[in-house]
Amino acid sequence: MGTATASAPRISKSNERALQKFMEYVAKRNQGEPEFLQAVQEVAASIIPFIAKNPRFRDAKILERMVEPERAFIFRVPWIDDKGNFQINRGYRIQMNSAIGPYKGGIRLHPSVNISILKFLAFEQVFKNSLTTLPMGGGKGGSDFDPKGKSDNEVMRFCQSFMTELSKYIGPNIDVPAGDIGTGGREIGYMFGQYKRLKNEWSGVLTGKALTYGGSLIRPEATGYGSVYFAQAMLNHHKTSIEGKTAIVSGSGNVAQYTIEKLLHLGAKPVTCSDSGGYVYIKDGIDFQQLEYIKDLKNNRRGRISEFAKEFNLPYFPAEKPWSVPCDLAFPSATQNEINEKDAKILIKNGCFCVTEGANMPSTADAIDVYQSAGILYGPGKAANAGGVAVSGLEMSQNSIRYSWTKEEVDEKLHNIMNTIHEKCVTYGTKGKRVNYVKGANIAGFIKVAEAMMAQGLV
Ligand code: NDP
Ligand code: 2IT
């Protein structure tokens, strides 16, 4: 490709000092929250040099305000399992920033959920939602509840109890949750039903709803499709294309499934998928029949990816991640910090020249340094996976006007939004021949929220 220079972007000594001082301040106020600090550091490294040149944002302490959630709720979620035993989980909702619209962001149900993970996700969401061009603030919620191995009735009782408390803090003009890890169509349905009973009104309070009760066409596909559209835009901008490229994908949930589907539509060859048990290698590329099997296995039968490997007699690597498989493109689409420095080096050694993040913060800070030093194309999550929340925004619009757009209409809007996000990254991240998508996404996302906060005074 020959367009990228082989050096990581550097910041000046004075900006380095300002960044260090800022991070000391944030670390002191948020002890024991490593994921949150990681997400803040990545953004601050781009924003501090920017606000040094735009001191009105620095003097108004906009960045210091942005790292403080507007509001956060932690609550008890009691429910009764199928054996009649009491179970107690912890629920959360972080309302991070409402400068440009109602809080918006998913609900994660996973045993690892804690305040640090949800604050990192809510913080990322503020910038991501700003990039979509739609009027959505940022939030995130969830619980340490583990849906794995639970019956539908247990999941329903948990969701009802969770929503009984959450309903006090959300609303179609206040805060509009959606899916994330462990929260798909089934969970959204149970939560929506409970909210509707409690409030005695139908409203677009959640997105990711099924089509029969106000969901949007293309919402299930949106994050994965959007991630591939973003990769396509990066490749086209660098005078190459996605067709014929070998791609590795991690995860096998919502984002991974539709990343694989769009890669197939565009003539690429996805050769892996995974879950927390291990990964499968499909040398000749996953085909549509195998993809349908994966969707049914994961979305209906709720099985393990090892069963897919067994069914199609494919090599399965237990307890491993797919990063050692040679590829052109990588689409981490499972969870945070799934690619470390060592993995990043192996990816690049084996020929990978483009990493597109379907997941939120899947690369550690050291892994990002490796990409930047090697000068490969790197689309950070807040830009690359914004298609999901973008179509959530379109679902809100359709609910408000009480109308449904066609599949083609929504897909076209999604594609345009992803191209617009790419252009914004190019505008704010280009230096010489190189596009630093991290810097571009952070600055472009920041400006809209910062301007809105300045206009609104003491917020
Ligand atoms: P799903 O629950 O549908 O799928 C998650 C997948 O990732 C599963 O294959 C799961 O495996 C795997 N996974 C989850 N946690 C871990 C872990 N700790 N270690 C290894 N594998 C893990 O979630 P989504 O596909 O919706 O979300 C995937 C990522 O994309 C997340 O980072 C999410 O925040 C992000 N995202 C999601 C959006 C959406 O609209 N859904 C929008 C934007 C980003 P297993 O089943 O074994 O746990
Ligand atoms: O991380 C994300 O952007 C999501 N989980 C989707 C949020 C949403 O409101 O659709």
Domain boundary among 329, 355, 384: 384
Within a 10 A sphere around the Cβ of 120, how many other Cβ atoms? 24
Cβ contacts of residue 335 below 8 Å, gap of 6+? 181, 251, 359, 362
The token duo for 449 is: 């929220």
- Summary mean pLDDT of the chain: 97
State which ligand 1 atom lies nearest to the alpha carbon of 360. Answer: 32
- Shortest-distance Cα residue to atom 36 of ligand 1: 359
Ligand 1 in reach of 187 Cβ (< 6 A): no
Specify if 123 maps to a domain.
Answer: yes
The ligand with the least distance to the CA atom of 392 is 2
Specify if 450 maps to a domain.
Answer: no
Specify if 404 maps to a domain.
Answer: no
pLDDT at 197 over 90: yes
Round to whole Å and give the CA distance between 151 and 119.
29
Q: What is the pLDDT of residues 395-433, one digit of tens each?
A: 999 999 999 999 999 999 999 999 999 999 999 999 999
pLDDT at 167 over 90: yes
Q: How confident is the model at residue 11 (pLDDT cuts 50, 70, 90)?
A: confident
Instruction: Judge residue 174's burial from the number of C-beta atoms within 10 Å of its C-beta, 0-12 exposed, 13-18 middle, 19 or more buried.
Output: middle
Domain boundary among 25, 41, 65: 65
In the predicted model, what is the mean pLDDT of residues 244-258? Answer: 98
pLDDT at position 30 is 98
Question: 182 and 265, same structural domain?
Answer: no
pLDDT at 185 over 80: yes
Q: Domain with 173 in it: what CATH number?
A: 3.40.50.10860
- Shortest-distance Cα residue to atom 13 of ligand 1: 334
Q: What is the pLDDT of residues 92-116, one digit of tens each?
A: 999 999 999 999 999 999 999 999 9
Active site residues: 140
Question: 160 and 277, same structural domain?
Answer: no
pLDDT at position 264 is 98
Q: At what angle do helices 407-429 and 219-237 cross, to 10 degrees?
A: 40
The token duo for 386 is: 């914004």
Question: 98 and 37, same structural domain?
Answer: no
pLDDT at position 5 is 42
pLDDT at position 9 is 63
Question: 234 and 200, same structural domain?
Answer: no
**Is there a contact between 162 and 88 (Cβ–Cβ < 8 Å)?**
no
Cα 180 to ligand 2 centre (Å): 6
Cα 388 to ligand 2 centre (Å): 6
pLDDT at 7 over 60: no
Specify if 394 maps to a domain.
Answer: no
Cα 183 to ligand 1 centre (Å): 9
Phi-psi region for residue 101, left (φ > 0), alpha (ψ -120 to 50) or beta?
left
* Residue 41 lies in domain: 13-65
Mutation choice for ligand 1 from 38, 112, 180, CB with most ligand atoms inside 8 A: 180
Cα 216 to ligand 2 centre (Å): 14
pLDDT at 4 over 90: no
* CA of residue 157 relative to chain centroid, distance: 27
Q: What is the pLDDT of residues 105-148, one digit of tens each?
A: 999 999 999 999 999 999 999 999 999 999 999 999 999 999 99
Which amino acid is located at 338 in the chain?
A: E
Round to whole Å and give the CA distance between 186 and 164.
17
Ligand 1 in reach of 254 Cβ (< 6 A): yes
pLDDT at 6 over 60: no
Specify if 52 maps to a domain.
Answer: yes
Ligand 2 in reach of 389 Cβ (< 6 A): yes
- Shortest-distance Cα residue to atom 5 of ligand 1: 253
Torsion sign (Cα): 82, 84, 87, 93: positive
Ligand 1 in reach of 363 Cβ (< 6 A): no
Ligand 2 in reach of 46 Cβ (< 6 A): no
Specify if 403 maps to a domain.
Answer: no
Ligand 2 in reach of 436 Cβ (< 6 A): no
Cα 403 to ligand 1 centre (Å): 30
Cα 309 to ligand 2 centre (Å): 29
Percentage of residues in the chain having pLDDT higher than 90: 97
Domain boundary among 171, 204, 237: 204
Round to whole Å and give the CA distance between 95 and 141.
9
State which ligand 2 atom lies nearest to the alpha carbon of 179. Answer: 5
- Shortest-distance Cα residue to atom 48 of ligand 1: 276
Question: 165 and 40, same structural domain?
Answer: no
pLDDT at position 8 is 59
Question: 301 and 366, same structural domain?
Answer: yes
Mutation choice for ligand 2 from 125, 140, 223, 391, CB with most ligand atoms inside 8 A: 125
pLDDT at 451 over 90: yes
Number of folded domains that form the chain: 3
Q: What is the pLDDT of residues 40-55, one digit of tens each?
A: 999 999 999 999 999 9
- Shortest-distance Cα residue to atom 43 of ligand 1: 385
Question: 253 and 377, same structural domain?
Answer: yes
Specify if 449 maps to a domain.
Answer: no
pLDDT at 3 over 70: no
**Is there a contact between 360 and 381 (Cβ–Cβ < 8 Å)?**
yes
Q: How confident is the model at residue 1 (pLDDT cuts 50, 70, 90)?
A: very low
Question: 98 and 32, same structural domain?
Answer: no
Specify if 226 maps to a domain.
Answer: yes
Question: 288 and 196, same structural domain?
Answer: no
In the predicted model, what is the mean pLDDT of residues 21-41? Answer: 98
Ligand 1 in reach of 253 Cβ (< 6 A): yes
CA distances from 49 to 10, 15, 46, 127 (A): 10, 6, 6, 17
- pTM score, two decimals? 0.98
pLDDT at position 390 is 99
Polymer length of the chain: 459
Question: 367 and 257, same structural domain?
Answer: yes
pLDDT at position 298 is 98
Question: 79 and 56, same structural domain?
Answer: no
Q: What is the pLDDT of residues 353-366, one digit of tens each?
A: 999 999 999 999 99
In the predicted model, what is the mean pLDDT of residues 277-305? Answer: 98
In the predicted model, what is the mean pLDDT of residues 262-268? Answer: 98
Question: 267 and 184, same structural domain?
Answer: no
Cα 59 to ligand 2 centre (Å): 32
Q: What is the pLDDT of residues 303-347, one digit of tens each?
A: 999 999 999 999 999 999 999 999 999 999 999 999 999 999 999
Q: Domain with 360 in it: what CATH number?
A: 3.40.50.720
Strands (E), 167-241: 175-178
- Shortest-distance Cα residue to atom 27 of ligand 1: 181
pLDDT at 156 over 50: yes
